[in-house]
Structure 1
Amino acid sequence: MAHASFTSEDDQLRDKCFLSHFAEILSKVNNDGNKVFIDALSLMEFTCLKLHHDEIAGGLYSECHYVGSVGEGISGLDIFSNNSDIDIMFVMKSVHVVERRPIKTNKKCEQLLKMIDADTTPGYVKLKILENEIDENNAMKEDEFLPNSIVQKTFQAYGNASNAGLLSRMVELLGDKMTINWFVNGPSCSTNLETGNRNILTNRLVWIESVDCVIGLKCNEWPEIADEWIERNREYNWPSGDLIEKAVSLGCYVVPIGGRQSITQDLEWRISFVLAERLLVRNMKYMQLFVYSLLKSIRKEIFGEFSIIISSYIIKTVVFWVMEENDAPSWKPEHVLNYVQICFQKLLEFLEDDFCPNYFMRKCNLFHLKYSDNEKIR
């Protein structure tokens, strides 16, 4: 476990360099702007969903969430780059995912699915179809699992057609002269944006380079595999009981991608806590946000070709663990470099163990089959 250990007064004075002063200045600026920024994102989510409903009567999606750096509110904190990406999750309408608590649905227009984690890698589930349709012989089909490709291909086909029109209208709110080119990127639909204009969404002087859209299915329950997160002993009371309660109330999502090299990969879905993660980041103290943003900013420079392995999500996970294991009052501008070092130490522990536990699902290894023994030696 990586804990904070602070150095002598002389070392602390040396550490309070440009970076510490810069962090202190940004802290004062951020205190006033954060609420306005979050309100602007909420407005954009609402607007994006409304535009979609205008494109298709009734709409295919019930929710729209800006996630990643933009959704978390840290895109404007990158002191080394003013480029940013937008990650959007659309939630499919009329599909309900359950695990332990059954719910009533309108059978004519809604689909009920149950999460099953038997024979899957931790963090992945299969979705058992509970309310089946009648086949061509007018007989009920046997219980079966929903392939992720059905939802994935439908979303991608829709993204290449109607979503292009939707995004075209949406980005008009961000600036004109934007070129949109859609392509398939794993479970998401992505587009590179070419523009000479600044993004006026956040008013934080960043350029949007690309947009990644992914489809998710909503589960209103907190999954059993993450129960340990609720019950975990926390020496420094982070996150607080109230924050944990709010996170649990958000439930989770499943996205159409299976475990690496799984023999049932096409039937598996990855559990996602995007809203719980966004909640935790938005409730970070400013110095914690600054350290998180700084680590993301220097990730590619530090890890080079291995930055694909040490992804932004790995960095976020490391920061969550370090925050839980260290006292919040000690996150001060003069200790910024200390905490950068502590985060790297924590990451090194995970690499040495070949196990990076997902912050919400301790049994889920984010390094599972992500790199070879030769890459580890290098």
Structure 2
Amino acid sequence: MEPNHQVLGVYADALTTLIKNHDLTKTAMKFLRNNFQLFADKLKAQVQGIDVIQVGSSYDDLHLARLLKSEEGSYQFFPEVDFDFDMIYLSYVVGETDISGTREGDADCNGQCLPSSTNLTGSSLGDSGKVQQPFAVMESSSCPGYVKLRVTPHGRQMLKKPGCRIGNFITPKGYLLNTAFTSGLVNEGGRTEIVYSRVGQFVTDVLQKSETTVYTKTGPAITEINKACHGYTYDFVHAFPCSTWPTVAKGWADRARRCQWPNDTLIQNIVRDGCLLVAIGSQQTSDSSEEWRLSFVQAERMLSDSLSNLQKTCYSVVKVMLKSSLSERSILTSYHMKNIFYYLCEEVATSPRPGHWSHLGTGSCNS
């Protein structure tokens, strides 16, 4: 049976009104984003060499949640929303290759150095003109999208700093285990706190206040679940920056696109900022503890900022359909849908022409 595009369009408009035009939710989200930025600024002021960015659907306005008020006067997000943050260790730069062709153990640098002017998360490493040696270099894994991190001699020296425990998670072959972060979650007397670094303890102090803070592990994230009863959680992902655009993603930057989205300037900015390495391995390999996943959340932030309101509406409607029709055991997630949707944006023009984005074609876009 052919889908009724007109009916789907009306359904999309109704969902948009319920979700995106809800004044209380819009006001609350704006307030929270501003305060999260204040939190990030405070954290960066307390701990040098770290950048904190908000990511995910709660940042890019692709969430489905509404803030509802009960008869008792309490407020709750429904459905539950995650507030996601990436904590980026700017000093621990990861390089992709050994430029000289020699291996990490042959000498202290051997060409594994990167220009100190390399841009990371929007800021330079320095203006002195000196080269900065990488903390680790990426080596390929058997699973696409994942790599291994071989710690360089310079990186080993960095890990000798007082109080740093990450050096305990280097294998005999020189690879850094992705459990370096998550193993820092300990349970002492019923209280779960992050104890592996000053950064983690600071986060605990800020969030805990007068109540016990409980954390769990969700993929690469450390999730604070105390407010789950109010419909929201906090996810913290610790990440190392890679100063170059990885070779495995080169095809994305170079491929031909039918439309001018993303435009050349946006592509250049995304490539310039590189990517991140987060602590999670593939479930399809036997040595997953040695793998780190390539993360492109910085690119996703820039792409989502460039979407039109109509494009965000279409994505939200598809997300509702996905979550309402798939089994909880399905391997498909909203992240798969987001990537497919971004590809669709490259193929469908925003200017008036056949197949363009239009409110009249909302039902067609979601069929």
Question: How far does residue 317 in structure 1 lie from its aligned partner after superposition?
Answer: 0.9
Is contact 2:149-2:175 (8 Å) kept? yes
Say if 1:250 and 1:187 are closer, same or farther in 2 by CA, change over 3 A.
same
Is contact 1:159-1:189 (8 Å) kept? no
The answer on 1:50 being equivalent to 2:47 is no
Q: Distance in 2 between matches of 1:77 and 1:182?
A: 22
Question: How far does residue 28 in structure 1 lie from its aligned partner after superposition?
Answer: 9.1
Match of 1:169 in 2: 206
Question: How far does residue 224 in structure 1 lie from its aligned partner after superposition?
Answer: 0.7
2:94 to 88, 93, 97: 97
State the TM-score, normalized to the length of structure 1.
Answer: 0.67
Question: How far does residue 130 in structure 1 lie from its aligned partner after superposition?
Answer: 1.7
State the TM-score, normalized to the length of structure 2.
Answer: 0.69
Specify the code of the residue in structure 1 equivalent to 2:114: I
SS of corresponding position for 2:12: helix
2:340 to 318, 334, 346: 318
Is contact 2:6-2:363 (8 Å) kept? no
Specify the code of the residue in structure 2 equivalent to 1:150: A
Q: Distance in 1 between matches of 2:151 and 2:206?
A: 36
Match of 1:213 in 2: 236
Question: How far does residue 145 in structure 1 lie from its aligned partner after superposition?
Answer: 1.6
Is contact 2:64-2:320 (8 Å) kept? no
Deviation sequence 1:13-47 (CA, Å, 0-9, x none): 555525337648998999xx89x978973762352
Question: How far does residue 264 in structure 1 lie from its aligned partner after superposition?
Answer: 2.4
Specify the code of the residue in structure 2 equivalent to 1:333: H
**Structure 1 segment 58-137 matched on structure 2, within 5 A:** 58=47, 62-75=50-63, 81=78, 83-100=80-97, 102-103=113-114, 112-117=135-140, 119-131=141-153, 133=156
Q: Percent identity?
A: 22
SS of corresponding position for 1:314: helix
Say if 1:195 and 1:98 are closer, same or farther in 2 by CA, change over 3 A.
closer
Match of 1:295 in 2: 318
Q: Which runs of 5+ in 1 are unaligned?
A: 1-5, 197-206, 342-378
SS of corresponding position for 1:17: helix
**Structure 1 segment 181-196 matched on structure 2, within 5 A:** 181-194=214-227
Question: How far does residue 275 in structure 1 lie from its aligned partner after superposition?
Answer: 0.8
Q: Distance in 2 between matches of 1:76 and 1:89?
A: 21
Deviation sequence 1:191-213 (CA, Å, 0-9, x none): 223388xxxxxxxxxx6511111
SS of corresponding position for 1:275: helix
Match of 1:357 in 2: none
Query: What do you get for the CA RMSD once the two structures are aligned?
Result: 4.1
The answer on 1:254 being equivalent to 2:277 is yes
Match of 1:225 in 2: 248
SS of corresponding position for 1:269: strand
Q: Distance in 2 between matches of 1:155 and 1:213?
A: 13
**Structure 1 segment 13-24 matched on structure 2, within 5 A:** 16-17=9-10, 19-20=12-13, 23=16
Question: How far does residue 181 in structure 1 lie from its aligned partner after superposition?
Answer: 2.2
Specify the code of the residue in structure 2 equivalent to 1:296: K
Say if 1:238 and 1:129 are closer, same or farther in 2 by CA, change over 3 A.
same
Specify the code of the residue in structure 2 equivalent to 1:304: S
Q: Distance in 1 between matches of 2:61 and 2:12?
A: 20
Is contact 1:168-1:180 (8 Å) kept? no
Deviation sequence 1:101-142 (CA, Å, 0-9, x none): 632689xx986211111x421111111122254899xxxx98
Question: How far does residue 339 in structure 1 lie from its aligned partner after superposition?
Answer: 1.1
SS of corresponding position for 2:293: strand
Q: Distance in 2 between matches of 1:340 and 1:62?
A: 40
Q: Distance in 1 between matches of 2:212 and 2:322?
A: 28
Say if 1:62 and 1:286 are closer, same or farther in 2 by CA, change over 3 A.
same
Is contact 2:44-2:51 (8 Å) kept? no
Is contact 2:223-2:234 (8 Å) kept? yes
Q: Distance in 1 between matches of 2:323 and 2:39?
A: 34
Q: Distance in 2 between matches of 1:244 and 1:29?
A: 33
Question: How far does residue 167 in structure 1 lie from its aligned partner after superposition?
Answer: 5.2
SS of corresponding position for 2:271: helix
Say if 1:39 and 1:284 are closer, same or farther in 2 by CA, change over 3 A.
farther
Say if 1:45 and 1:221 are closer, same or farther in 2 by CA, change over 3 A.
farther
Q: Distance in 2 between matches of 1:211 and 1:289?
A: 23
Q: Distance in 1 between matches of 2:90 and 2:364?
A: 46
Q: Distance in 1 between matches of 2:202 and 2:172?
A: 39
Is contact 2:52-2:87 (8 Å) kept? yes
Specify the code of the residue in structure 2 equivalent to 1:297: V
Q: Distance in 1 between matches of 2:281 and 2:204?
A: 27
Higher helix share: 1
Specify the code of the residue in structure 2 equivalent to 1:169: V
